[in-house]
Structure 1
């Protein structure tokens, strides 16, 4: 069961990741939004570095010096976790350390990421500090992105009020105005991150206009543009505008497989299917049907990412059809994986997903267990199959057989 459990875990994680959008800084310029907060140890200090720099940095006149990695990160944690300090005092202390380490990208990003978790009362001061740092224009691109992330983190969220009202909370207009200003920066890294961060803060119509401009001038690429449109799509109430956005997604020039991934992600956003018009759902289902995920030509290839990709596609397709017709999702998934021309790995993908039990139950009720086992035979008996692949198939076979026996009279 270990192999199958591992696959279930990976597929489940991939599904969760498909609807999650991270916004912490990253050292890779081509993927600033998907990295997790910096938790890896900082690089070793050069010879002669003073290990007490975190203490000395409290004095604004202190020169920047590299700190011992462990002591440095420990000092940051001590400041953040100090219950005797107010949020503003924590913010002030960390910012002073940042000023002394602003030219050391990894340390600077670490500090800025830490600052995102502090919510000072004086957000205006944070905004002013970020703007001043950005206008210096000499930071590493990753630091610029982290500064934008810190700026966005000052936006106050309140789930009890509408998004339109949320944008009018005391400091939120300042945050939005500062992000709009940054989005028009001549610096690509700053403008790029500001456009994407602004897109997530509730100003839907304004964001769509900004995204169009950013796509036209090359600030964001086609994939980012379509992803952001997909994020906004369920927030649009007008069916005609929903369809217009779907048309833009289709006309973006993205390869079919990538477009399908983004549409599947949109379908799995919270409340997406209940907020989209039937015509929009039909369009999304057609896009998914026109671009099914492909497995490797080599039948021996069990790629966990390919299994997760198929599962996202199948889950999104089934969820959309369920929203339109009311047909149970397990029934729809069972039909998909048992189509005459379906790759046997489709069955493996779903059988190793969180929907495994209800789908296997449907297969049993339909009398399709033997057919399913034969599909696994085709895969398991392929010459040269690996022990891992055979083990995964064996796990699924055992589950199907056990369920079939329980259903026997």
Structure 2
């Protein structure tokens, strides 16, 4: 099954990209349906996406580009900075986050780039201080009205959050993590048929940590590269509803691990989904899919994972001033937990955005996740919530305030820590 689906994903993806590349010379469906866009889902604009001309940064013109400088200054009160079950330590964290974004202002095609940083300083626990940065670019080539090619790449130098399920609990400082990713995609729509494909590469590089006694916490066994390729076929049954089939194959390669002591965690996986993409009148739009997922490991030390896979994303528009989002998913994720190669991640979320005034936006979100580890007796459940608001003073200034809580419960013989983290934050944002 794995080889069949992988070959299928590769075939569909290659075919989709080939169709895009040859779109200018390929014959397109003609007749009354040729000019109908059966795949756009833009009847509504969400609260977060809605343009606010009087409160948007004008940007700085630079030829055919617009440059958007941005600076965020924030303070955050955290009641459990180490995410521990007992002896919680609280602290106040100050963030300085500069950003520079560049976007093209062309009639066709699109190109953007960004550079951002974050200086994080703790009032009492200086060992938690970090400096983070990220750079990236993305673009789109419009081959013709119904075909395009997309691409992008990002690099980030950051740190693993203390709340992460795989973060070393005995590290005296946060674990440094460098990530990189790149993708290329293509799509072509013709009448009632749309073909699309995408190839992704992601890299994770963890730096070694140290315990309070000075011992090295080796993190090389977590470094990995992930390649994935997907292909998708959408068939429209009306201008607002389409059914699709999507196949995705991945290959996960770890930098180290080939001995009995440190088994190799290399694996190959596939995802096979059927679903529907729709926009029902002016009320609801979204996508729902279900199918089969599996991940097979090269080493017998780790159990293979297979079973039900799914994802869903729904937007409900009860009014022009309110947007409600519901999302859910079931995927297979990597883990460095001894004896386990992967866990099945189940997740669900519910959020509301409300435009109280043109320049006052309120938001609230609830989320739940459950990670079922394969090969060991462990199950982690996370429940969280956050509420907040944004006050746009003018085009150049805004204020954000939020409160969030996260409760983590771990069960089983190989259980992790139970902990709760609460955060209260306020930020001043300047944009130009």
TM over 0.5: no
TM range, smaller chain: under 0.3
The two structures have a TM-score, normalised by structure 2, of: 0.24
The higher radius of gyration belongs to 1
More strand by share: 2
The two structures have a TM-score, normalised by structure 1, of: 0.25
More helix by share: 1
